[in-house]
Structure 1
Amino acid sequence: MIRKTISNRPQLSTLWKNCANIHALKQVHANLIVNGFNSNRYALRELIFTSAMVIPGTITYAQTLFEQITEPDTFMWNTIIRGSAQSSVPCKAVLLYTQMEKKCIGADNFTFPFVLKACTRLSWVNMGNGIHGKVLKFGFESNTFVRNTLIYFHANCGELKVARMLFEGYAERDVVAWSALTAGYARRGELVMARQLFDEMPVKDLVSWNVMITGYAKHGEMESARKLFNEVPERDVVTWNVMIAGYVLCGSHEQAFEIYEGMRCAGERPDEVTMLCLLSACTDFGGLDVGQKIHQSIMETGLKRMSTVLGNALIDMYAKCGSIERALEVFRGMRERDVSTWNSIIGALAVHGHVDESIQLFIEMQREKFRPDEITFVGVLVACSHGGMVIEGCQYFDLMRIQYGIEPNIKHYGCMVDLLGRAGLLDEAFKFVEEMEIEPNPIIWRTLLGACRIQGNVVLGKRANEKLLAMRRNHSGDYVLLSNIYASKGEWDGVERVRNLMDDRGVIKEAGSSTIDTDNKELMGFFFNSKS
């Protein structure tokens, strides 16, 4: 049936519409090969368009198909460039354009906008300026589609002055041009100018409203964003999501959930972005009960086949809200995982003291052929530190460097210092710091100072404190740790000296916090809050 349809042009578009997945696409591809892959130009056009633009996640397949076409026409070039520009690797679109030029294939008024969009996503200003030059050379600047894309490029990552000049150079400006320039000013924080343009727009569509609301929300001006939100004639999921994300960004979690409830009452269907914003809010304020309700909403809103990103966010939320069991449940229920998934659960188990489970999952990760990265090893080393596994920790540190070629960063060194310090191996810990290939930061010395307090080692504690105070002089906890070391040994003269030093430097002890709690929060924040 497929073979017959391929030779019949009028029925062909129906065939491609029925290609809902990669399996069906491959069937059609195979039949094309049987019938002579390069013989049917119309079929090749449809094949490239469907794989590059219609079926999600098949752009790489489309690029491979494109390479097999003997003489692709301009439509095929434009389609593969367009699909690549919208993909997760937009630089491929620029590379394809350069190949097109080398083959002397004439670019048209569709080619340049697709390449410019890729340059905008990549913030490749020089390349975008070069494309602008090509536009002028071939006389496409008067084309509305090309001109609007040039305005969008310059407004977002080029020169606002150039964008404004292009905008004002033509009497006929459509709503796309107005929105592009407004977005450029808003994104750069020039909200007064953005609002002036917005107010001057002869016609405003929903995109225009969303652009301005987004500008206010991203810069924390939620009162202005809310006023426009209340005035917008209609709303889509983007409008609601922008408000939710803005409130989450400002730490106004109650307002974020209020907007979410309004979204549901209005009959707007939440999407993945909505849920990610709400889970971020739950993670920030430790709202386990609310997080569980959001999880339930995810299951009820048709997102049952959970994406990897959403699954990772749920793991992170449950772990940081203290429910490691639910985090594991989500992990085990995920059909697709990436390295971040493994990193999240390994790190979560490590922080919660489930040392054996953390290490076992690392072994399982390797067995399933996922390549650990630098974040993975932070989790593994934290697990070893919490479990007192000095030998294993050293082995994993070497494994990271030797087998996987990952150079240790300050977090890995911090984990190793914490590992040695917790085990009471203070001399080894100090030697390790002295031999570090990068400069130790205050957290490293604070870790050593904390270990000295636990072990009651005054001599090494003084040494760590001297290094620490040379870097930062106003952190009261650094003085308190040293004072506690003296006190544990009954050296009250030392306690008095530390207090006098604090007075001389005007350092005031922070009230109402435990030194141990402060250490733990500082260390865990150091190890896991940043992805660097």
Structure 2
Amino acid sequence: MIRKSRGTTTVTDVGTLKQIRALMIVNGFTSNAGLLRKLVLAAAMSMVGPAASAAVTQYALQMFAQIPQPDTFMWNTIIRGSSQSRDPLHAVALYAQMDRRFVKPDNFTFPFVLKACTKLVWVNTGSAVHGRVLRLGFGSNVVVRNTLLVFHAKCGDLKIATEIFDDSDKRDLVAWSALIAGYAQRGDLSVARKLFGEMPNRDLVSWNVMITAYTKHGEMKCARKLFDESPMRDVVSWNAMIGGYVLRGLNREALELSDEMCRVGECPDEVTMLSLVCACADLGDLENGEKVHGKIMEISEGKFSTLLGNALVDMYAKCGNIRKAIHVFWLIRDKDVVSWNTVISGLAFHGHAEESLGLFREMQSTKVCPDEVTFVGVLAACSHVGNVDEGNRYFHLMRTKYKIEPNIRHCGCVVDMLGRAGLLKEAFDFIASMKLEPNAIVWRSLLGACKVHGDVDMAKQINEQLLRMRGNQSGDYVLLSNVYASQGEWNGAEKIRKLMDDNGVTKNRGSSFVEAHS
């Protein structure tokens, strides 16, 4: 497939690349340097962007490897594509191949390799590249120097980054922004703010760097002050603030700011929408969630990324609209393990256990491999539906077929499943056989089952375990008291209440809230 965007043409699938190369071979153009450059450029562009797949990247690299003597332009082009791909490791590998084949790098090569080292946080490799830059005399090149500054500021040595900055033109805004971002990322906001104040001219990037730095470190008041003072804003500025609010749990503020964003005519992007969907999910705000969903469909023309699709499924599930969650799930074109996990768990915890297990069986027929989160949802579904045999089978399958070691959540699901089914002794024995130390949640799950099934003796044993773990939790006392009460043993219930008083344990008052539309 060929995708056109802003005057450029990008190949987005293996088949198209193969067709282009086949045409060149058939027509005898494989030695034409000009056409080979265009082919490599198309291959490099195919490796970049959300539509790029591992298959396209792999074929692009294989195709490049079959070119007998690529020139420096071709090497730089494929290294650039690799550095911007999902796996920048290829860029460093290509740079090493270039060296082995005695092709001399130039001032275009080093920025791409250094960007890859920055993404990979490969400090030693990046430092070695820095040394070669100096040996070949490219240290004074503005682009190379700024890329070195970014590398050292983000993952190398801040002292070296500062030295590079001191040797640069103080009118270079890229250098200022890079050093500010470096100090901010390392948590030294005071130095970053000082540098920001000393800038001879502040561009939009520098404002965004400081706003983002404050939001990432939770200083939302400082971030908002800078945001309000900024003489210019773009979608990055708005996203930094909205995302910061969501990250700190200030979801209402995020939604209010998004309304302001629309009022001033700034167009939201996928990052904006992702933050807003998460805000609605955390709030359980279905009404606003549906509005955000509508806006997503409007700006994306009905197509959205896997990441955004997963967030929408999660939002609808948390807001209780499981039908819409399933609807969105089936609209996700490239479903990943998170997609399956979200809908399987959503169905399980909303009481649609059979549908949840049906989707898991369907997942097993795809190329997506279940992970430990998948099995939490699956075991919870088995618990809710009371299917002990199937739950035990999946617990065994998780370990034998998928090599996933059970964690405390898996064990808690099994205990809950056995307890709901009235198999209290089996649940108790399972806890005793666990390799992991059982936590209070596991014991309380079984204690709750004792209340349902009226096993006072076992409830006493479990309560002793809980009191040893956390003697001041009122809920544990109350639950045991309720076990006695459910069997009409009022003396036992009264003793537990007195024990609470003697130990100074108080029961928190219950509370609830409703959301009303005025």
- Given the two structures, how large is their TM-score scaled by the length of structure 2? 0.89
| Letter matched to residue 39 of structure 1 | S
Q: Shift of the alpha carbon at 1:81?
A: 2.3
Deviations 1:190-224 (A, max 9, x none): 22211111111112221111111111122222222
2: distance between equivalents of 1:501 and 1:165?
A: 68
2:253 to 242, 252, 255: 255
2:22 to 30, 44, 47: 30
2:295 to 275, 297, 318: 297
For residues 408-423 of structure 1, the aligned pairs below 5 Å read 408-423=406-421
2:32 to 40, 56, 59: 40
2: distance between equivalents of 1:37 and 1:428?
A: 73
1:270 to 268, 271, 274: 268
2:4 equivalent in structure 1: none
Which sits farther off after the overlay, 389-398 or 68-77? 68-77
Kept in 1: contact 2:168–2:175 (CA 8 A): no
2:485 equivalent in structure 1: 487
Q: Shift of the alpha carbon at 1:413?
A: 1.6
1: distance between equivalents of 2:278 and 2:316?
A: 11
In the superposition, relative to structure 1, how do residues 303 and 207 fare at CA in structure 2: closer, same or farther (>3 Å)?
Answer: farther
- Please give the root-mean-square deviation of Cα atoms over the aligned residues, in Å: 2.4
Kept in 2: contact 1:288–1:318 (CA 8 A): yes
In the superposition, relative to structure 1, how do residues 179 and 490 fare at CA in structure 2: closer, same or farther (>3 Å)?
Answer: same
| Letter matched to residue 289 of structure 1 | E
1: distance between equivalents of 2:231 and 2:42?
A: 35
1:521 equivalent in structure 2: none
Which sits farther off after the overlay, 403-412 or 309-318? 403-412
- Is 1:125 the counterpart of 2:123 in the alignment? yes
2:81 to 44, 60, 83: 83
1:367 equivalent in structure 2: 365
Q: Shift of the alpha carbon at 1:291?
A: 0.4
| Letter matched to residue 114 of structure 1 | F
In the superposition, relative to structure 1, how do residues 36 and 425 fare at CA in structure 2: closer, same or farther (>3 Å)?
Answer: farther
Q: Once the two structures are aligned, what percentage of the paired residues are identical?
A: 59
2: distance between equivalents of 1:358 and 1:398?
A: 19
2: distance between equivalents of 1:436 and 1:60?
A: 44
1: distance between equivalents of 2:209 and 2:429?
A: 55
1: distance between equivalents of 2:174 and 2:219?
A: 24
| Letter matched to residue 267 of structure 1 | G
| Letter matched to residue 354 of structure 1 | H
| Letter matched to residue 90 of structure 1 | P
| Letter matched to residue 23 of structure 2 | N
Which sits farther off after the overlay, 121-130 or 151-160? 121-130
| Letter matched to residue 384 of structure 1 | C
1:457 to 437, 455, 458: 455
| Letter matched to residue 37 of structure 2 | R
- Classify the secondary structure of the residue corresponding to 2:510: coil
| Letter matched to residue 201 of structure 1 | M
| Letter matched to residue 192 of structure 1 | S
2:159 to 151, 158, 161: 161
2:390 equivalent in structure 1: 392
Deviations 1:109-158 (A, max 9, x none): 33332222222222233333333333334333332222212221222222
2:3 equivalent in structure 1: none
Deviations 1:401-452 (A, max 9, x none): 2222222222222211111111111111122122223333332223222222
Q: Shift of the alpha carbon at 1:226?
A: 1.9
1:346 to 337, 344, 347: 344
Kept in 1: contact 2:11–2:42 (CA 8 A): no
2: distance between equivalents of 1:73 and 1:441?
A: 63
Q: Shift of the alpha carbon at 1:487?
A: 3.3
| Letter matched to residue 35 of structure 1 | N
Q: Shift of the alpha carbon at 1:497?
A: 5.1
2: distance between equivalents of 1:156 and 1:348?
A: 39
For residues 200-215 of structure 1, the aligned pairs below 5 Å read 200-215=198-213
2: distance between equivalents of 1:505 and 1:76?
A: 77
1:239 equivalent in structure 2: 237
1: distance between equivalents of 2:163 and 2:457?
A: 68
| Letter matched to residue 227 of structure 1 | K
Q: Shift of the alpha carbon at 1:378?
A: 1.5
Q: Shift of the alpha carbon at 1:242?
A: 1.1
- Is 1:470 the counterpart of 2:468 in the alignment? yes
Q: Shift of the alpha carbon at 1:323?
A: 0.3
2:218 equivalent in structure 1: 220
1:288 to 280, 286, 289: 286
Kept in 2: contact 1:381–1:412 (CA 8 A): yes
- Classify the secondary structure of the residue corresponding to 1:142: coil
Q: Shift of the alpha carbon at 1:179?
A: 0.5
Q: Shift of the alpha carbon at 1:356?
A: 1.1
1: distance between equivalents of 2:460 and 2:127?
A: 58
For residues 510-525 of structure 1, the aligned pairs below 5 Å read 510-512=508-510
2:150 equivalent in structure 1: 152
Kept in 1: contact 2:43–2:78 (CA 8 A): no
Q: Shift of the alpha carbon at 1:184?
A: 1.5
Q: Shift of the alpha carbon at 1:501?
A: 4.9
Kept in 2: contact 1:38–1:70 (CA 8 A): no
| Letter matched to residue 283 of structure 2 | F
2:381 to 380, 383, 390: 383
2:188 to 176, 190, 193: 190
1:406 equivalent in structure 2: 404
Which sits farther off after the overlay, 455-464 or 212-221? 455-464
1: distance between equivalents of 2:498 and 2:225?
A: 54
In the superposition, relative to structure 1, how do residues 205 and 509 fare at CA in structure 2: closer, same or farther (>3 Å)?
Answer: same
- Is 1:321 the counterpart of 2:313 in the alignment? no
1:8 equivalent in structure 2: none
2: distance between equivalents of 1:107 and 1:466?
A: 71
- Is 1:105 the counterpart of 2:97 in the alignment? no
- Classify the secondary structure of the residue corresponding to 2:45: helix
Which sits farther off after the overlay, 45-54 or 284-293? 45-54
- Is 1:67 the counterpart of 2:59 in the alignment? no
2:353 equivalent in structure 1: 355
Kept in 1: contact 2:171–2:200 (CA 8 A): no
In the superposition, relative to structure 1, how do residues 132 and 411 fare at CA in structure 2: closer, same or farther (>3 Å)?
Answer: farther
The number of residues matched between the two structures is 499
In the superposition, relative to structure 1, how do residues 446 and 335 fare at CA in structure 2: closer, same or farther (>3 Å)?
Answer: same
2: distance between equivalents of 1:458 and 1:120?
A: 61
Kept in 2: contact 1:59–1:83 (CA 8 A): no
| Letter matched to residue 27 of structure 1 | Q
Kept in 2: contact 1:167–1:173 (CA 8 A): no
Q: Shift of the alpha carbon at 1:243?
A: 1.4
Q: Shift of the alpha carbon at 1:271?
A: 1.0
1: distance between equivalents of 2:502 and 2:117?
A: 56
Consecutive unaligned residues of structure 1, counting only runs of 5 or more, are 1-15, 515-532
Q: Shift of the alpha carbon at 1:282?
A: 0.2
Kept in 2: contact 1:77–1:100 (CA 8 A): yes
Kept in 1: contact 2:29–2:35 (CA 8 A): no
Consecutive unaligned residues of structure 2, counting only runs of 5 or more, are 1-6, 513-518
Deviations 1:42-98 (A, max 9, x none): 222222222223664143332232222223333222222222222222223233333
In the superposition, relative to structure 1, how do residues 206 and 46 fare at CA in structure 2: closer, same or farther (>3 Å)?
Answer: same
2: distance between equivalents of 1:480 and 1:81?
A: 65
